[in-house]
Chains A and B, each alone.
Chain A
């Protein structure tokens, strides 16, 4: 079996599992899978900004928040979810573009602090501007959409809706990263000075990387609101930003399927560790520390190493 065929088999098998899974799960399990799909979308966005274009951002939760509040406010006022998606994408794209400007002047941990401040600012706006966001009371009764007569009210239906949006987002991201833009983003990460000397307009691409990554955060937010049906500012505090960063890095930054794995670890692993009761956060933290200490390129980096070792051993055996 060669590497490519093996990967396609794993890919098809994963899709099969994702489609079959909700039929064997209780509502809470289906909720977790839906949450995984939503967080994967936000992590795909951050992976584009951080993993491919090399711009660290601790503001992704802010964009999930902007998207969620856009979705909640519009749909509770009778607007269709499609309008919420459109507005959230435009809004997050524009705000993400503006957030990119500091990245033209500062990098690495300085940029981390700039984006962290922005995330805090958005959190404070969500909490304090009660006329718009209802503050700490949050927004309740967020409706789930009906698409062409298909009601997504039930957990399984809504899960498939999330899965559909994830599939569309993944295709769009795949298309983008295979385009000349994807190459330019990678060049920006690896060597911005050289990229600039080769005609790559690093300013524009930096801003674009922020804007697109943020817009995907917004998409995740719009989907998150009808999933939980009740949102309040704390869901989009710094904790979520760090969690999304962890997903990207644990999965494998700059690798297309990294966010899928990273989000699975972050959303599902803590639940599987619940049997250990009080110990589960400690076990989870230990796992993440060991993984990153020994495999800084994340789970996919680990998988690539294992695959290379396996190919070598099968070659020497024959």
Chain B
């Protein structure tokens, strides 16, 4: 199976601190890769370097074989790479539907066709499908800011999928979401993974969520990958236990 995402020797240094230190890995098409590690191990920094939010100090990132290092986040999103952030990031003043339409509107045509062309261009229908899929129909016309935290989190994830994405990087999608909603989220992610062959990389502290969702897991500690394997293998790996609990 072809590698969708290839990361080679990626390093990000802040002054003398190497937040990410020579990380290399590949993600195959249709895979759900978990990325775990103690706080401060460099997971979010790694995401930001892959996605152009931060410029890596050295190393290379490829998506479908194409070098994307140094590209801007908006251009990456247009290539079908979606993401969510660790902290909730929706547009509180826009309605749920407007949030989703915004998340999908920039992928076709140019700035000018968006202004002068047909107003909707199919984005509204795509947003409605996403609303249906994430069971947000009752809230579609509510301002995003008035939703509960868990509902906003669902919306946040749904927005990342509006790019019709090939690859989605999710930073702690389960954080602060209650158990019922969590089961729903996991089921939705699996469904998109199967129907669209979308590839995911998921940062998560909720071990049960990661272990039940992901097919493979990478463990990061102090900016390096210290272990890699199936959920079962990772669960019993002494290096992982040591990284989390200390010795």
Residue A204, interface by CB 8 Å: yes
**Inter-subunit contact B159/A179 (CB<8 Å):** no
Residue A202, interface by CB 8 Å: yes
Distance in angstroms between the alpha carbons of A196 and B106 in the assembled complex: 10
Given A196-B74, A199-B74, A202-B74, verify A183-B101 contact (CB < 8 Å).
yes
Residue A197, interface by CB 8 Å: yes
- Report the count of interface residues on B (CB-CB < 8 A): 30
Residue B167, interface by CB 8 Å: no
| Chain A 196-215 interface residues, beta-carbon cutoff 8 Å to B | 196-202, 204, 208
Residue of A nearest to B91 (CB): A190
Distance in angstroms between the alpha carbons of A194 and B162 in the assembled complex: 13
**Inter-subunit contact A198/B72 (CB<8 Å):** no
Chain B: minimal CB distance from A53 (Å) = 13
Distance in angstroms between the alpha carbons of A195 and B107 in the assembled complex: 13
| Chain A 167-190 interface residues, beta-carbon cutoff 8 Å to B | 176, 178-181, 183-184, 186-187, 190
**Inter-subunit contact B115/A198 (CB<8 Å):** no
**Inter-subunit contact B94/A183 (CB<8 Å):** yes
Distance in angstroms between the alpha carbons of A202 and B115 in the assembled complex: 16
Q: Output the residue of B93, B106, B114 with the most chain A CB within 10 A.
A: B106
Distance in angstroms between the alpha carbons of A176 and B114 in the assembled complex: 11
Given A197-B77, A197-B83, A199-B77, verify A184-B106 contact (CB < 8 Å).
yes
Chain B: minimal CB distance from A192 (Å) = 11
Given A179-B115, A186-B91, verify A198-B159 contact (CB < 8 Å).
yes
**Inter-subunit contact A181/B74 (CB<8 Å):** no
Q: Output the residue of B89, B159, B163 with the most chain A CB within 10 A.
A: B89
Given A191-B89, A194-B89, verify A200-B111 contact (CB < 8 Å).
no
| Chain B 72-86 interface residues, beta-carbon cutoff 8 Å to A | 72-74, 77-78, 82-83, 85
Partner of A197, one of B51, B90, B91: B51
**Inter-subunit contact A198/B119 (CB<8 Å):** no
Distance in angstroms between the alpha carbons of A190 and B119 in the assembled complex: 22
Chain A: minimal CB distance from B119 (Å) = 7
Partner of B93, one of A186, A195, A204, A208: A186
**Inter-subunit contact B106/A201 (CB<8 Å):** yes
Residue A193, interface by CB 8 Å: yes
Distance in angstroms between the alpha carbons of A178 and B105 in the assembled complex: 13
| Chain B 116-145 interface residues, beta-carbon cutoff 8 Å to A | 119
**Inter-subunit contact A199/B72 (CB<8 Å):** no
Residue B102, interface by CB 8 Å: yes
Chain A: minimal CB distance from B90 (Å) = 8
Partner of B106, one of A178, A179, A199, A208: A199
Residue B103, interface by CB 8 Å: yes
Given A184-B105, A193-B89, A194-B89, verify A199-B115 contact (CB < 8 Å).
no
Given A198-B103, A199-B107, A199-B163, verify A181-B77 contact (CB < 8 Å).
no
**Inter-subunit contact B94/A196 (CB<8 Å):** no
Chain A: minimal CB distance from B205 (Å) = 21
Distance in angstroms between the alpha carbons of A257 and B142 in the assembled complex: 22
Distance in angstroms between the alpha carbons of A254 and B93 in the assembled complex: 11
**Inter-subunit contact A186/B85 (CB<8 Å):** no
**Inter-subunit contact B77/A179 (CB<8 Å):** no
Across the interface, which residues of A come within 8 angstroms of B206, CB to CB?
A: none
Across the interface, which residues of A come within 8 angstroms of B77, CB to CB?
A: 197-199
Chain B: minimal CB distance from A261 (Å) = 20
Distance in angstroms between the alpha carbons of A199 and B81 in the assembled complex: 9
Residue B230, interface by CB 8 Å: no
Across the interface, which residues of B come within 8 angstroms of A180, CB to CB?
A: 101-102, 105-106, 114-115, 119
Residue of B nearest to A175 (CB): B115
| Chain A 252-307 interface residues, beta-carbon cutoff 8 Å to B | 254
Residue B176, interface by CB 8 Å: no
Partner of A181, one of B72, B85, B107, B115: B115
Known contacts A179-B115, A183-B94; 12 further A-B pairs (Cβ under 8 A): A179-B114, A180-B106, A181-B115, A190-B92, A190-B93, A193-B85, A197-B53, A198-B77, A198-B103, A199-B103, A200-B74, A208-B111
Nearest first, the 5 closest Cβ-Cβ pairs linking A and B are: A199-B106, A199-B77, A194-B89, A180-B114, A190-B91
24 residue pairs bridging A and B, Cβ less than 8 Å apart: A176-B115, A180-B101, A180-B105, A181-B115, A183-B94, A183-B102, A184-B105, A187-B91, A190-B94, A194-B85, A194-B91, A196-B73, A196-B74, A197-B83, A197-B85, A198-B74, A198-B77, A198-B102, A198-B163, A199-B103, A200-B74, A201-B72, A201-B74, A201-B106
